[in-house]
Chain A
Amino acid sequence: MPLIALLMGFPLLAGLAILLASTPERRADLVRRSAYAIGAVSLLLAVVYFRAGPQFFVIWDGLAQVLDLLFMLGGIGVSLYLLYACRRIKGLEWYIPVLILVQMGLILVAELAADHPEVARPFYIDSFSILMALIVGLVGGLICIHAIRYMQDYQAHAEEVADRRPAFFMMLFIFLAAMFGIVFTNHLPWLFFFWEVTTLCSFWLISYSGTEEAIRNGFRALGLNLIGGIAFAGAIVWLTLGPGLHTWELDQLVAAGSALALIPAVLIGIAGLTKSAQMPFSSWLLGAMVAPTPVSALLHSSTMVKAGVFMLVKFAPVYHDTLAGFLLALIGGLTFLITSLVAVNQRNAKRVLAYSTIANLGLIIMCAGIGTATTLWAAILLILFHAVAKALLFLGVGTTEHLIGSRDIEDMEGLVYRRPVLAATLLIGILGMFLAPFGMLLSKYACFQAFLSLDVLPGDGILLAAILAFGSAPTLFFWSKWLGKLAAMPRRAQPIELPIPRDEAIALFALTVVTYVACALFPLADWVFVQPYTGFLTGEGLIPAGDERIPWENIAMMTAMLGGLFLLPLVFWLLPPQATAVSGYLSGANVDGSASYQGAMGAEREVASRGYYLAGFIREETMIRNGLIGSGSLLLLMLIGASL
């Protein structure tokens, strides 16, 4: 318990200290030390509670009441701040203050209700939340370190942006504190408070630059997340005043099973969908791209979107084997399919990453909606792999952008030769994202197996499996295309002289190592973090014990593949094959090596070839519109299905 309190409290204090730091150097130093401290504490937590089953913490009654009051006032404070921020709304955004008021009203109704449920055990810890804490602490901390130098350059480049860096770093740390709150709190209204704090932080960070675009996108993120907030508050009201279940404890809600807990679980599920940017709420995450890159990295990898899927995975036992759960999986699947296709269109590396985040989360939600032991296993591993690989990719793209002055994938041509170390981080990130025998493969495997054994509606599993099959194909296309650009031999030597700044290098290097280790030692991660959690759930009879675990033989094969992937470059390095360098084939018209050729009328022309983006084949707007309509109807169906 002290460790948990430390994790939640310390970032908050660190944030305040950073806000008040006297000089930029002191601030940078504080950020660095605090990030290391948070990482160290989360590691310590993982060691202390090694393979722990769920443990609950009772706190002293007086303290509980103080906290109760504090969180309630805090919630009101957050709402009031948001209302104050709404002075800058425009046009159709009048709905945002309305949503804030509705949400505040709902949660006050619940908290001030005469006989609201009492919470005996407000905090808990289990191996899944430890894994989340590690992700938040390590990945989040590294992102903060990367941000030190990045923000310095950012402010130097964007002179029109007001320098609010002290508040910026405070917000990052408050964000981390709130994330720790979400993963350890068993008390639903308190959890809701943390949930709202993440909404507030993301809103503030997205609108950081203060440009018109940033503010509009910030409000969009706020509006969509408020819809989720209202759904969450609605669930709490239902649990307070509604018929049936009368509890504010997360574990009891999950344990109540689909017969009793489905309605609140679906409402919280909607909150999870908004937070993890699933269709029809996906647009805010794309809008969040206007924020400085560390913010995108934070939102995409370790915080925010992971809070959404964390809740959905928590509630997976309730969704298991219900129509609502199937529809939830279908929403995830539809999002996966559509955003994977749309990602093929994108030339902007950050947008590719954004769409692939949404797609990946869709896959996790597919797993959560099905909710068997195997799919939960897949979902949790996906959360892990995605968090580390995506953080690495975002930071890598951010650093690349500073070095080459562009985030266009076409401009990254030949990075393997121009900037080998940086390219290596991007390559490992991409490999970690999609390539066998890494994360995606395992999860897809588990999903296919689980889908085909599904039995809610006739043809349901086939539908999901088909969606997964069709969605994976474009994933392969856009990642490989990017890999190809990085691996391409530059036609002219164009080395980049600028060094990678130290803080950015530390973060990138550490994340590369983490990604590498997570992939190489995934059976260990499975044993330490996932098995205790799924084991507990099956032990309690909440989810069916899966006999369809991935057989050892497959694991052995995957290890062999992974080993080969590591060994081949080593052998290549030790025993380089004989070869002579020559220019590329240009129909014999080469003038300057591979770089230019003799065109019509004897003119020398530069060679240029671009990747395929299929802009005429996949139309982003149409796809997204269809996706919104489809997922919106599924959402309605899900609500109806839950209340039946």
Chain B
Amino acid sequence: MTTSYSWTLAVGFLVFGPVLGALLAGIDRRLTARMQSRRGPPLLQPVYDVLKLFEKDTLVVTRLQTLYLWGFLFFMVISGFILFLGSDLLLSLFALTVSGIFLCLAAYATNSPYSNIGSSRELMLMMAYEPMLIMVPLGFFLVADSFRVSDIVAGEPWQVLQLSGILIGFLFVLTIKLRKSPFDLSSSHHGHQELVKGITTDLSGSDLALVEIGHWYENTILLAWLYLFFAPLGVVWALPIALVLFFAEVLIDNTHARLTWTSTLKGTWSVTALFGVTNLMLLPLIA
């Protein structure tokens, strides 16, 4: 059950979640720059960006888009809060999904062709990765006999071996979740492309800042999901491993060209079936 410790963690997430997420984003940008033999921006660049966005005016196509973005941020925070409280992983996932839907709504509301394509593709990506993301709590349930994060953390150290297929599948969809190439279909990191900035094209000023903050929270949440696989090993092992795997996505980002949505969808579902479902099926034999 929830203890004062888990409440501390959850409240800590509310405050420091975005800070950690921003740092992850900063490291990401710097790593990318280094891989391209550039120096890259300061570590705190994502923070500067967001603080600047708050100084700017906000241009909207419709005022309601801001309301949808509030929904996006609210459910993102709730998702992380549930996760860090040590509560239900499946519920946390549902909240994460709702949050994604709200982001799409904001983009749909602006109704420019680029935002439309971006949000349609984002929904497509959600459809692609959702089954695999659901497999993760299911896998944990089968090894830890609970959807509760606190029980999963207290699980057996070899759960990551039992769930290795799920881990592979999760790493695959993590690339999509982080909007990394080859799956950056909905919103590219570099705006001067055919889909401009996709889902965020028509968001500006504080609206865009909200999206960025939401993504910081999301970074932290995803890192925490990754951490969960290794959590029983203890923080000394688990955190470095999770970080290394997290930043491995940057390497993939920089070495792959974008895929079409059909291949993304087919690929992701195949990986889900091949690694996710098979892993679950074989679990009784491994356990």
Contact = CB atoms under 8 A, between A and B. Distances in A.
Interface of A: 413-414, 416-417, 435-437, 441, 444-445, 448-449, 452, 458-459, 462, 465-466, 469-470, 472-474, 476-477, 480-481, 483-485, 487-491, 551, 553-554, 557-558, 560-561, 564-565, 568-569, 571-572, 576-587, 594, 607, 609, 611-612, 617
29 contacts: A444-B94, A448-B137, A452-B141, A466-B280, A476-B97, A476-B130, A477-B124, A477-B126, A480-B101, A484-B105, A484-B107, A485-B108, A488-B110, A489-B62, A553-B2, A553-B87, A553-B88, A557-B82, A557-B91, A568-B67, A572-B70, A579-B59, A582-B59, A584-B112, A585-B196, A586-B113, A594-B111, A594-B112, A612-B124
Interface in B28-80: 57-64, 66-68, 70-71, 74-75, 78
Given A483-B108, A561-B75, 13 more contacts: A414-B111, A435-B101, A437-B94, A466-B276, A470-B269, A480-B123, A481-B120, A483-B101, A557-B95, A578-B58, A586-B112, A594-B111, A609-B116
B95 A436 contact: yes
A480 to B, nearest CB: 5
A489 B106 CA distance: 10
Contacts of A617: 262, 265
Contacts of B130: 469, 472-473, 476
B243 to A, nearest CB: 28
A72 to B, nearest CB: 51
B281 interface: yes
Nearest to A616: B262
A480 B78 contact: no
A441 to B, nearest CB: 5
Contact of B114 (A473, A571, A572, A585): A585
A554 to B, nearest CB: 5
Contacts of B131: 466, 469-470, 472-473
B177 to A, nearest CB: 14
B98 interface: yes
A447 to B, nearest CB: 11
Interface of B: 2, 57-64, 66-68, 70-71, 74-75, 78, 82, 87-88, 90-91, 94-95, 97-98, 101, 104-105, 107-117, 119-120, 123-124, 126-128, 130-131, 134-135, 137-138, 141-142, 147, 196, 201-202, 205-207, 262, 265, 269, 272-273, 276-277, 280-281, 284
A577 B66 contact: yes
A487 B109 CA distance: 5
Contacts of A488: 108-111, 116
A452 B143 CA distance: 11
Nearest to B59: A582
Contacts of B90: 445, 448
Nearest to B88: A554
A449 B90 CA distance: 10
A470 B130 CA distance: 8
A414 B109 CA distance: 8
Nearest to A491: B111
Given A473-B126, A489-B110, A416 B64 contact: yes
Given A452-B142, A568-B67, A580-B60, A436 B94 contact: yes
A576 B63 contact: yes
Given A579-B66, A585-B196, A476 B101 contact: yes
Contacts of A437: 94
B147 A449 contact: yes
Contacts of B120: 481, 484, 611-612
Given A594-B61, A607-B113, A472 B66 contact: no
A584 B108 CA distance: 11
Contacts of A436: 94-95, 97-98
Contacts of A465: 138, 280
B284 A561 contact: no
Contacts of A572: 66-67, 70
Closest 9 CB pairs of A and B: A484-B108, A584-B112, A489-B62, A488-B111, A469-B134, A473-B130, A582-B59, A469-B131, A436-B94
A439 to B, nearest CB: 12
Nearest to B138: A465
A237 to B, nearest CB: 41
A94 to B, nearest CB: 43
A428 to B, nearest CB: 15
Chain B CB within 10 Å — which of A472, A480, A577 has the most? A480
A585 B202 contact: yes
Given A416-B64, A617-B265, A579 B87 contact: no
A413 B90 CA distance: 33
B60 A584 contact: no
Contacts of A564: 74-75, 78
Contacts of B110: 488-489, 584
